[in-house]
């Protein structure tokens, strides 16, 4: 069974500082990986996705993530945090072998706080 | 396009009452999903549908039923609400064509409280 671990339920950074949100996955086959962002009282919005093409994936709002098979990781980064980045971030994995339903397994989320 | 919409946005139920949550999408997506979100637990899949007239159980299906009579709608029912079903419920949908790499599109959520 696939699983996702997000280290750190809360991360606080200063505006302009590097953002690093960690995600490790467990899957018996090369997975598809996603990062979603949730702003307060809203639904989830896709930031970026890895689908076995380039290992460095660029997303919206200046975020990017690198797929590292040897470390089973898919960490999310942004060089310079902005106040508007404050939100909850979810990593999710989809096992290609679960059929076309493509069920997602989510991590427990990381709340990002950005301070002045 | 409105994308994925959910009705209602908020609801308070008493234990034992029933209700139906409606999800609608106008993107002609084949696949639809219902999740619940609880603090510290991420999102967990309740039920899903791979097409009109079909439904399947997800990770936490007990106490819920679903129906997909029309392609654009996916209904989630609680026959006898329990306090453990207090949660935020999200609906999502996805294309089938193009392979399973396509992301899911989420609605704004329904906040349900059962007292």
Please give the interface size between A and B, counted as residue pairs whose CB atoms are below 8 Å apart.
59
pLDDT at B76 over 60: yes
Q: Is A25 on the interface with B (CB under 8 A)?
A: no
pLDDT value at residue B2: 80
**What residues of chain B have any CB closer than 8 angstroms to a CB in chain A?**
4, 31, 33, 40-45, 48, 50, 56, 58, 90, 92, 94, 96, 100-109
Binary contact (A106, B109; C-beta < 8 A): no
Which one of B24, B100, B108, B110 would you mutate to disrupt binding with A, by most A Cβ within 10 Å of its Cβ? Answer: B100
Binary contact (A43, B106; C-beta < 8 A): yes
Question: Looking at the DSSP assignment, which residues form a beta bridge with residue B60?
Answer: none
How far is residue B8's CA from residue B75's CA, in Å, rounded to a whole number? Answer: 12
pLDDT at B55 over 60: yes
- Say what the alpha-carbon torsion angle B78, B75, B88, A104 is, to the nearest 10 degrees: 120
pLDDT tens string A73-108: 999 999 999 999 999 999 999 876 666 567 889 999
How far is residue A91's CA from residue B77's CA, in Å, rounded to a whole number? Answer: 28
Q: Please check whether residue A101 is in contact with residue B31, taking contact to mean a CB–CB distance below 8 angstroms.
A: yes
pLDDT at A12 over 60: yes
Binary contact (A100, B43; C-beta < 8 A): no
pLDDT tens string A41-65: 889 999 999 987 788 999 999 999 9
């Amino acid at each position: 069974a696939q699983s996702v671990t997000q280290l750190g339920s809360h991360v606080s950074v200063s505006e302009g500082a590097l953002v690093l949100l960690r995600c490790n996955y467990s899957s018996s086959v090369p997975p598809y990986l996603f990062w979603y962002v949730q702003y307060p009282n809203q639904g989830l919005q896709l930031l970026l996705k890895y689908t076995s093409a380039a290992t460095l994936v660029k997303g919206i709002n200046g975020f990017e993530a690198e797929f590292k098979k040897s470390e089973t990781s898919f960490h999310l980064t942004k060089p310079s945090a902005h106040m508007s980045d404050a939100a909850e971030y979810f990593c999710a994995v989809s096992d290609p072998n679960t059929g076309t339903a493509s069920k997602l397994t989510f991590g427990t989320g990381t709340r990002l706080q950005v301070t002045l | 396009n409105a994308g994925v919409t959910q009705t209602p946005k908020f609801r308070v139920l008493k234990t034992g009452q029933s209700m139906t949550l409606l999800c609608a999408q106008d993107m002609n997506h084949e696949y639809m999903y219902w999740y619940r979100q609880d603090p510290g637990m991420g999102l967990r899949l309740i039920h899903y549908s791979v097409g009109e007239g079909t439904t399947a159980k997800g990770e936490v299906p007990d106490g819920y039923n679903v129906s997909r009579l029309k392609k654009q709608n996916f209904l989630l029912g609680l026959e006898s609400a329990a306090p453990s079903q207090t949660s935020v419920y999200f609906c999502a949908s996805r294309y089938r064509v193009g392979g399973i790499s396509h992301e899911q599109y989420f609605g704004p959520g329904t906040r349900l409280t059962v007292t």
